[in-house]
């Protein structure tokens, strides 16, 4: 590692992912201590020199907020240790669903987090499958926005392509599903849902025909799995032969795993952007660590990363 101009460090809960990235890059994970105190506070210290180095800090900001706070302290410590540049590598960017004012007197959480990261001192952000593409514009530093499609498409090619139809569990994911449908040359259907409140669906309808088809639902985040499992059930009621789902980020808050286990889904495929620690026989995890390792190398070498985009 001493002959390389960059160093990679990780927060507590994303260490599993950082180790995969380092294995791919054939470099050791940087030595850093995150010390926890009795009152819940914690401090960050780098146990090796990072002066004049490009520093990549890997940490997804999934619940709880300690993950975000760890990242903030890691950035601040790196800035004060004279790092040449500080690149935040955030496979899952939390608070991304708060990207606009959808009713009066609410916060725009994604913009606030972007401001906090910028103020803390990042030089660049590398992330994947933001809930809303416009979040890139909340930052005043370069954002490399990766897509899990490169990993997913290879897996999708193992499906029966003759009867495949791409579906989106809500209208908001139409653009994403349309890109997959166009790439795979498949038809597309849409689920239209009406919510009573957050995480509670009152009604759902299908726009399109799924009779006799193998349905593949596409989404970016699965939280409580209410939308995904209800959409799968609706597809089967409308004559679908089978229903699978693909989503980038396995938030999977309780009771999501039980819902998926008891649902009409054949399987649900996620990336390892968030650690999935529950037990569910229908969940399959595909790693995006090699893709992030490739992106890190390209950033270091000032090379284009657009060739990583498949869909």
Catalytic residues, by residue number, are 193
228, 248 contact by CB (below 8 A) = no
296, 56 contact by CB (below 8 A) = yes
SS3 (DSSP) at 44: strand
Q: Report the DSSP beta bridge partners of residue 44.
A: 34
Which pair of tokens denotes residue 204? Answer: 């759902």
Token pair 């990207």 is at which residue?
A: 99
SS3 (DSSP) at 276: coil
SS3 (DSSP) at 40: coil
222, 267 contact by CB (below 8 A) = no
**Pick from 250, 243, 202, 203: which is nearest to 225 by CA?**
250
């Amino acid at each position: 590692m001493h002959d390389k101009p960059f160093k990679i460090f990780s927060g507590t809960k994303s260490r599993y992912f950082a180790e995969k990235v380092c294995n791919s890059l054939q470099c050791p994970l940087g030595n850093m201590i995150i010390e926890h105190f009795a009152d819940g506070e914690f401090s960050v210290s780098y146990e090796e020199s990072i002066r004049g180095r490009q520093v990549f800090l890997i940490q997804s900001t999934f619940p709880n907020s300690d993950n975000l706070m760890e990242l903030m302290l890691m950035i601040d410590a790196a800035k004060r240790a004279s790092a040449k540049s500080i690149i935040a590598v955030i496979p899952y960017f939390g608070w991304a669903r708060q990207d606009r004012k959808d009713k009066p007197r609410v916060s725009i959480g994604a913009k606030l987090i972007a401001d906090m990261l910028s103020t803390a001192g990042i030089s660049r952000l590398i992330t994947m499958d933001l809930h809303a593409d416009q979040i890139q514009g909340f930052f005043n530093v370069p954002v490399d926005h990766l897509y899990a499609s490169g990993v997913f498409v290879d897996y999708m090619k193992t499906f029966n392509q003759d009867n495949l139809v791409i579906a989106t569990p809500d209208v908001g994911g139409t653009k994403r599903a349309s890109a997959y449908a166009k790439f795979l040359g498949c038809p597309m259907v849409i689920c239209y849902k009406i919510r009573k409140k957050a995480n509670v669906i009152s009604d759902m309808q299908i726009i399109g025909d799924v009779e006799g088809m193998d349905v593949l639902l596409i989404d970016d985040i699965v939280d409580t799995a209410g939308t995904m499992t209800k959409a799968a059930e609706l597809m089967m009621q409308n004559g679908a032969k089978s229903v699978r789902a693909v989503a980038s980020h396995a938030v999977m808050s309780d009771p999501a795993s039980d819902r998926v286990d008891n649902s009409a889904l054949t399987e649900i495929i996620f990336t390892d952007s968030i650690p999935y620690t529950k037990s569910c026989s229908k969940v399959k995890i595909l790693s995006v660590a090699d893709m992030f390792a490739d992106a890190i190398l390209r950033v270091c070498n000032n090379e284009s990363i657009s060739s990583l985009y498949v869909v």
